Amino acid sequence: MALIFCLPALRSPAQKLKLNKLGYFETPGVNVLVFSNQYNGIFQDEKTAGVELIHHGVRTITGGAVRLQNTPEQWDLVPTMSSRKVDSVNHRIDVTMHYADYDFDSRISVVSKGNGVELSLYLDKPVPEKLAGRAGFNLEVIPSAYFEKTFFVDGKPGEFPLYPAGLTKMLPSGQKVPQFAGFSTFDDRGRNEFIDPAPLATGKTLVMAPEDPERNIKIQSADADLMLFDGRSLAQNGWFIVRSLLPAGKTGKVLTWYIEPNAVPNWKRAPVIEFSQVGYRPEQQKTAVIELDKSDAPLKTATLFEVTADGKYIERLKSDVQHWGQFTRYNYLKFDFSSVKKSGLYVIAYGNQKTNAFPINANVYENIGHPTMDVWFPVQMDHMMVNEAYRVWHGAPFLDDALQAPPNHQHFDTYKMGATTDTKYKPLERIPGLNVGGWFDAGDFDIETPSHCSVVLSFAEAWENFKIDRDETYVDYPTHYVDIHRPDGKPDVLQQLEHGTLALVAQVVNIGHAARGIIVPNLHQYHHLGDAVNETDNLPYNPLLKPYQSDGKSSGTMDDRWAFTTRNIALDYQTAAALAAASRALKGYNDTLSVKSLQCARKLWLEDDSLKMHMDSAAKARNMFASGNEMQAALQLYITTKEPQFADHFKKMIMPMLDRFPGFVMINALHAYPYMDKDYQDKIAGYMQKYKASCDEYDKQNPYGVPVTPGGWGGSGQVINFAITNYYANKYFPNIIGQEYVYKGLNYIFGCHPYSNLSFVSAVGGRSKKVTYGNNRADFRFIPGGVVPGILLLKPDFPENKEDWPFFWGENEVTIGGCAQYVVLSGAVNQLGQHN
């Protein structure tokens, strides 16, 4: 006799999805968004667009749209949204999509039905002949939500694979819809054939995760078959795909799906206690933020326990929580435990939720910058082999740098060449001397010059203002060798500053000005995951040799990176600023490079001044954004040379900008403060109350009191800049800007932020980011010391930072600019502690 176990949570009572005021379908535990977020057309598919599902607080489905591939890659064509209409009376959303390349329009209509939604797809004209058998409707399912879970297709069971193991076949070129026009996608080693994964299963009804009430979804197709694919066979960042092909030769309603996500009855998201994973100094303000489901009734109190050496929990504070209000989709409470100043380990409890232990101690910030300088920046070093104990992070790559990028070329990673090269080099001619210095920009392997300038400025600031002299890295240029955790008697900050400066000087000397960047030319190289040394053969291209032929010193393989050299005044000024600052910091460490840096900075300043004089008014208007970089260059040249002309130029620019953008340029104004006359200092003092008021506005905007920014990239960088600016404001105007304006930013970065309480700096704090978007992202790992962008605010109201899926670059990609700023902040907060 069979025993049947009843799991009541698997079958929810009727809970109709209704359109809310924000324009998406909602019932407790389930949200269905219909093009609240659109494909942006810059990086194509960022997995944050189309029909999406937020299932018991987790976004598990995205990309619901007509697509032209079974398992689309990032750079495959995406539709643009022509129109979106929300009918709140009939609980219906209609969206029109357009593919300009094929003059192909479609319309999806999503309406509340039963315990789910019905999605219908309409065509006014048949599918274009070129797209017949290729165009289909896709839903993309994030694999991490369904690892180790099962499915039924028409009653037949299956398992979601932990690692892609399905069948594939090869399609000759021409049988796949072209990717973005003009992009050189593959090399000529047979890689112009395309991998096409076979479906894991096919049928009319798909039930996903029947054993898991929080992930259980049923999808039924009334007409075309549902096909379940695993996109990871084609690309490591691929998702599971549910897809139906559109019929050829038909118009009107051509496809109907019924989608029913299970809703656990009376589901409420568990409270999240958000606090600094690094801990707190005894004297600083200490406030935890408690994030609540909007249907959750708040409790009156929270409790702070001290954890003793013998494992006992001793109540040190129980007090009322303060109701802050709603931010995004959640309600927020605040628990102030500033009165507890005793050094020790503590835990916060709210209802049934309890945090991990964190310290209150005077030295909590002493080591926060060490992983970033000890490990993360060495790993990012270009043109060097990087070793750590038994591990080799990568070999010495790109010793074949670099070829001149051809004119009128639009690269897929936003790099662009104008009508001329702006150099003495012919298209695809080798530019010598560029195979030195620099860092991989982020999770890919390019030299991104604006980011380099930012890093060089930050490291010069870290050395001059905070004397960060830690030595844990061995660098040997003759052998292109770096060894982590091996002191060599030289401050790491200066070694890294030297490494970035070498790359910038090489550009100015060999190109004549700063390049936009240096990057691989085709997508096959660009999406490479693994050792960077394998992206090229490391031999300079020789057009006299055949492909893959080598004379031992060069090769006929055109795999070398390209230098994008279209001249840009804004970038020239930024580079001049960085090199002027580097010249000061390197004096006495590398005097030859110090002198050369200042020479290059002066050269760029003089040439750009001449270029500006010959611009017409329209060109000047287009380059107004360069004003900030010009101002920065004038300031750094003045601090280095003490020549009054640069001070006058800076002061002439800064005051009008302070009137218009006080928050944006205040950091520049404060950097100049100790070097300027009393008249300047008095004027800056006059702006401080206005600046303080702008900072205080953040307390009204969100419960964290920091700039939480919307958009396609998380806001950690803005928060770090906010905290650094406030460090200098407190240093010069302590009676106006208190130290808490610095600590707010630190607390946010270290865990007091929406969605979770993880520290956004890997390996810093009790619980930190362990899955990030670096060049090792396919391993679901991290590089210690990396600072992620953090919270992505998805329209209209969903904050997200995935910890189980590394491939969201807007949430988890670590960059050199952000990490260098964080190093500055680590120096600032430790100096702040010395003032107490």
Model confidence band, residue 43 (pLDDT cutoffs 50, 70, 90): confident
Predicted pLDDT of residue 597 = 98
- Phi first, then psi: give them for residue 322, nearest 5 degrees: -100, 135
pLDDT at residue 33 greater than cutoff 60 = yes
- The contacts of residue 481 (CB under 8 Å, 6+ apart) are 384, 385, 387, 396, 474, 475
Task: Classify 227 as helix, strand or coil.
Answer: strand
State the sign of the Cα–Cα–Cα–Cα dihedral 583, 587, 593, 594: positive
pLDDT at residue 330 greater than cutoff 60 = yes
pLDDT at residue 184 greater than cutoff 50 = no
Cα 610 from chain centroid (whole Å)? 37
| Residue 271 near residue 350, CB atoms below 8 Å | yes
Predicted pLDDT of residue 75 = 85
Model confidence band, residue 626 (pLDDT cutoffs 50, 70, 90): confident
Q: What is the mean predicted confidence (pLDDT) over 611-623?
A: 55
- Rounded Cα distance, 576 and 568, in Å: 12
| Residue 832 near residue 742, CB atoms below 8 Å | yes
Predicted pLDDT of residue 412 = 86
pTM value is: 0.95
Q: What percent of the chain is modeled with pLDDT above 70?
A: 93
Residue type, 286: K
| Residue 163 near residue 90, CB atoms below 8 Å | no
Model confidence band, residue 350 (pLDDT cutoffs 50, 70, 90): very high
* Pairing assessment for the beta strands 358-360 and 353-354 based on DSSP bridges: unpaired
Predicted pLDDT of residue 615 = 53
Query: Which two structure tokens, joined as six digits, stand for 300?
Result: 């009156």
Higher pLDDT, 618 or 310: 310
Q: What pLDDT, in 10s, does the model give residues 441-451?
A: 999 999 999 99
pLDDT at residue 8 greater than cutoff 80 = no
Nearest alpha carbon to residue 291 among 305, 272, 275? 272
- The contacts of residue 767 (CB under 8 Å, 6+ apart) are 277, 356, 751, 757, 758, 759
pLDDT at residue 620 greater than cutoff 60 = no
- Phi first, then psi: give them for residue 725, nearest 5 degrees: -55, -40
pLDDT at residue 836 greater than cutoff 60 = no
pLDDT at residue 722 greater than cutoff 70 = yes
| Residue 359 near residue 315, CB atoms below 8 Å | no
pLDDT at residue 48 greater than cutoff 60 = yes
Nearest alpha carbon to residue 280 among 766, 823, 715? 766
- Rounded Cα distance, 509 and 511, in Å: 6
- In order, the DSSP letters of 549-597 are -B-SS-BS-----EEE----HHHHHHHHHHHHHHHHHHTTTSHHHHHHH
Query: Which two structure tokens, joined as six digits, stand for 715?
Result: 């806001």
Predicted pLDDT of residue 6 = 41
- Rounded Cα distance, 138 and 152, in Å: 18
Predicted pLDDT of residue 783 = 98
Model confidence band, residue 176 (pLDDT cutoffs 50, 70, 90): low
Beta bridge partners of 26: 18, 31
Query: Which two structure tokens, joined as six digits, stand for 627?
Result: 């004003």
Q: What pLDDT, in 10s, does the model give residues 631-651?
A: 999 999 999 999 999 999 999
Predicted pLDDT of residue 538 = 97
Q: What is the mean predicted confidence (pLDDT) over 72-93?
A: 93
* Pairing assessment for the beta strands 194-197 and 481-484 based on DSSP bridges: unpaired
- Please, what is the average pLDDT of the chain? 93
Higher pLDDT, 389 or 183: 389
Q: What is the mean predicted confidence (pLDDT) over 266-275?
A: 97
Domains of the chain from N-terminus onward:
8-177+186-261 (2.70.98), 272-360 (2.60.40.10), 368-565 (no CATH)
Q: What pLDDT, in 10s, does the model give residues 547-585?
A: 999 999 999 999 999 999 999 999 999 999 999 999 999
| Residue 563 near residue 431, CB atoms below 8 Å | yes
- Rounded Cα distance, 762 and 790, in Å: 12
Model confidence band, residue 183 (pLDDT cutoffs 50, 70, 90): very low
Beta bridge partners of 482: 386, 475
pLDDT at residue 366 greater than cutoff 50 = yes
Predicted pLDDT of residue 169 = 85
- Rounded Cα distance, 30 and 266, in Å: 11
Model confidence band, residue 1 (pLDDT cutoffs 50, 70, 90): very low
Q: What pLDDT, in 10s, does the model give residues 452-487?
A: 999 999 999 999 999 999 999 999 999 999 999 999
Predicted pLDDT of residue 835 = 58
- Rounded Cα distance, 477 and 660, in Å: 46
| Residue 300 near residue 321, CB atoms below 8 Å | yes
- In order, the DSSP letters of 83-102 are EEEEETTTTEEEEEEEEGGG
Predicted pLDDT of residue 709 = 87
Predicted pLDDT of residue 321 = 98
Q: What is the mean predicted confidence (pLDDT) over 339-343?
A: 98
- Rounded Cα distance, 44 and 528, in Å: 18
Higher pLDDT, 422 or 173: 422
Least confident piece of the model among 13-27, 354-368, 758-772: 13-27
Residues comprising the chain, all counted: 836
Predicted pLDDT of residue 42 = 64
Model confidence band, residue 414 (pLDDT cutoffs 50, 70, 90): confident
pLDDT at residue 616 greater than cutoff 80 = no
Query: Which two structure tokens, joined as six digits, stand for 328?
Result: 């995004």
- The contacts of residue 71 (CB under 8 Å, 6+ apart) are 197, 229, 230, 231, 233, 234, 235, 238, 241
Model confidence band, residue 41 (pLDDT cutoffs 50, 70, 90): low
| Residue 761 near residue 372, CB atoms below 8 Å | yes
415 in the Ramachandran plot: left (φ > 0), alpha (ψ -120 to 50) or beta? beta
Q: What is the mean predicted confidence (pLDDT) over 235-263?
A: 97
* Pairing assessment for the beta strands 562-564 and 403-404 based on DSSP bridges: parallel
- Phi first, then psi: give them for residue 89, nearest 5 degrees: -70, -45
Task: Classify 212 as helix, strand or coil.
Answer: coil
pLDDT at residue 404 greater than cutoff 50 = yes
Higher pLDDT, 324 or 196: 324
Longest Cα–Cα distance of the chain, Å, equals 95
Q: How many CA atoms lie within 13 A of 92 on its CB side?
A: 10
- Phi first, then psi: give them for residue 260, nearest 5 degrees: -125, 95
Cα 717 from chain centroid (whole Å)? 10
